[in-house]
Amino acid sequence: MPAKRPNNPARELLFGDLWEYDPAPETAPAHIAPRYDLFINGQFTAPKSKKWFDSISPGNEQKVSEIALANEADVNAAFAAATAAFSKWSKTSGAERGKYLYRIARLLQDRAREFAVAETIDGGKPIRESRDFDVPVAAAHFFYHAGWADKLAYAAPGRTLAPLGVVGQIIPWNFPLLMLAWKIAPALACGNTVILKPAETTSVTAMKFCSILQDAGLPPGVVNIVTGAGDTGTNIIHHPAAAKIAFTGSTAIGKFIQRTLAGTDKRLTLELGGKAANIVFEDAPIDQAVEGIVNGIFFNQGHVCCAGSRLLVQESVADEVLRKLKMRLRHLRVGDPLDKNTDIGAINSRKQLEKIQELVKSGVQEGAEIHQPACKLPKRGFYFAPTLFSNVSLSHRIAREEIFGPVLSILTFRTPEEAVEKANNTPYGLSAGVWTDKGSRILKMSTELKAGVVWANTYNKFDPASPFGGYKESGFGREGGKQGLLDYAQIV
């Protein structure tokens, strides 16, 4: 039996309101154009629909830019350009394709600060996260796949890899630039050409990325980016020239795409929703685990498909973990995403904020105990305070449905078997976390948890060489690593 932890209250230095953080706004220019056209065949092209829509900054509700609305004719033009470019691009040597990917990565690094500011303005995430995570990891994916481009013969020993053709890709709003890199880099490394549609609420960095493609000298038509809403994505999915569809987004839309493509010969990969369990055992390093819990659910305002939104804590340490979590939440700063002191930025859109509010209300109505620290939310913009729910049961909506916001549901368990049963009691299977000092327990849990990624004594750690993806209603296929590369190739 592990030694019983002393039940001493945590000590905290309290200074009240004696000192306040000075504002530390990021002042680098984002160089956002007032209007963006479509990017087809290597050029910015006015939409045939002759329509644009506004991109609104969630941090202050101000207009950021006007984004072109692509119709069916625009999508057809993009596929025509990609189809024409495929014959030459697919025959380009792997070494040459790798050079283009390497140039793209270097150019993205050169303009990293500019892209980080643009990502924060358009999406609402804190500048620290855009600067230190989104942009560097996006560049890392291009570097990684640049290395694979001339080594495809070694990806499947004894077999040959061939490109699929024209690939349609649809990405979400939570990591716009990073998801773009996850999708485009492996597709180009394997010799495919691309039609990509970013989310309608976060299209700016995708359109800025087009100038990097031009500066890298990428041949026209190899990458085409069309913007719009659901109808634009539907046109991509239905297009007969698409050899593969890659989608990251909600489970509901993923199911629609799967039904639509049933009976066709189009390849499909889906990276969908999640309701990950973050499991803390009584022998875990509690202070380290608390930081991991905070990172797991409040990173990017909880707009993360693999967010650790269900916390499972062993009963013997549940009170201690909850007490330390409440203390930690008091020191999280919610506010201007461009301020370098901000921990939690803006919710991506009014629609998403209303969804979070509705689910939190259901948690209160169903009897869970809510805790929100006292914090001043900006008067303009879409913001939500970091939220904990204790006394949560598996039947509560907040324990079953993906909230996609800064809301943590806390459940308890007594034995490892109960932890596994509760963790797996979900239609999702994207990720999980385990906190314990026993390596054998970590290995055992990793084999029993039905999750594509299991983190041990950490959370939200990503690497381009490590495959990412899920099971059950979290989708199928992998992104990153050799496994993600093979999803963009025929093995012949």
The DSSP code sequence of 54-117 is EEE-TTT--EEEEEE---HHHHHHHHHHHHHHHHHHTTS-HHHHHHHHHHHHHHHHHTHHHHHH
pLDDT of the residue at 21: 82
pTM: 0.95
Question: Could you list the pLDDT tens digit for every one of the 492 residues in the chain?
Answer: 455 555 555 566 665 566 778 899 999 999 999 999 999 999 999 999 999 999 999 999 999 999 999 999 999 999 999 999 999 999 999 999 999 999 999 999 999 999 999 999 999 999 999 999 999 999 999 999 999 999 999 999 999 999 999 999 999 999 999 999 999 999 999 999 999 999 999 999 999 999 999 999 999 999 999 999 999 999 999 999 999 999 999 999 999 999 999 999 999 999 999 999 999 999 999 999 999 999 999 999 999 999 999 999 999 999 999 999 999 999 999 999 999 999 999 999 999 999 999 999 999 999 999 999 998 999 999 999 999 999 999 999 999 999 999 999 999 999 999 999 999 999 999 999 999 999 999 999 999 999 999 999 999 999 999 999 999 999 999 999 999 999 999 999
What is the DSSP code (8-state) at residue 25? B
Residues 151 and 141: their CA atoms lie apart, in Å, by: 16
- Amino acid occupying residue 321: V
- What confidence score (pLDDT) does residue 7 get? 55
Angle of helix 135-148 relative to helix 112-123, nearest 10 degrees? 120
Asked if 375 is an active-site residue, the reply is no
Q: Identify any residues that bridge with 476 across adjacent strands, giving them in sequence order.
A: 270
Q: Which token pair is 184?
A: 């485009």
Six-digit token string for 28: 């680098």
CA-CA distance, 441 to 431, in Å (whole number)?
17
Q: Hey, is 45 helix, strand or coil?
A: strand
Note the pLDDT of residue 283.
97
Please list, in sequence order, all residues whose beta carbon lies within 8 angstroms of the beta carbon of residue 290, skipping any fewer than 6 positions away: 321, 324, 325, 328
Supply the pLDDT for residue 20. Answer: 78
49: Cβ contacts below 8 Å, ≥ 6 apart: 68, 69, 70, 71, 73, 74
- pLDDT at residue 15 in the model: 58
Q: Are 225 and 75 in contact, with CB atoms under 8 Å apart?
A: no
Report the residue count for the chain: 492
Distance between CA 320 and CA 8 in Å, rounded? 9
CA distance 31 to 370: 42
> What tokens were used for 176?
């716009």
pLDDT at 19: 74
Longest dimension (CA), the chain: 71
- Candidates 239, 204, 258, 219; CA nearest to 75 is 239
Starting from the edge strand earliest in sequence, which strands make up the sheet with 35-36, in order? 35-36, 63-68, 52-56
Q: Could you tell me the CA-to-CA distances from 307 to 117, 301, 389, 408, 422 in Å, in that order?
A: 24, 10, 15, 9, 17
In sequence order, the 6+-apart residues with CB closer than 8 A to the CB of 259 are: none
Q: Rounded to an integer, what distance in angstroms lies between the CA atom of residue 170 and that of residue 449?
A: 29
Question: In degrees rounded to 5, what are phi and psi of residue 467?
Answer: -70, 145
CA 156 vs. chain centroid, Å, equals: 28
pLDDT at 397: 98
**Dist CA 28 CA 26 (whole Å):** 6
* H or E, element range at 150: none
Query: Could you confirm whether 271 is annotated as catalytic?
Result: yes
Distance CA 408, CA 394 (A): 13
Please tell me the distance from the alpha carbon of residue 419 to that of residue 347, in angstroms, as a whole number.
31
- The one catalytic residue among 129, 305, 306, 320: 305
Measured in whole angstroms, how far is the alpha carbon of residue 213 from the centre of its chain?
Answer: 22
Q: How far is Cα 75 from Cα 52, in angstroms, rounded to an integer?
A: 15
Q: Residue 344, class by beta-carbon neighbours within 10 Å (0-12 exposed, 13-18 middle, 19+ buried)?
A: buried
CA dihedral over 223, 227, 228, 229, signed as positive or negative: positive
CB atoms within 10 A of CB 84: 15
Active-site residue identified among 119, 129, 271, 479: 271
Q: For the chain, list the domains and their CATH numbers.
A: 35-272+474-491 (3.40.605.10), 277-456 (3.40.309.10)
The strand ranges marked E within 226-280 are: 242-248, 267-271, 277-280
* Radius of gyration, alpha carbons of the chain: 23
Give me the residue label for tokens 């906190």: 435
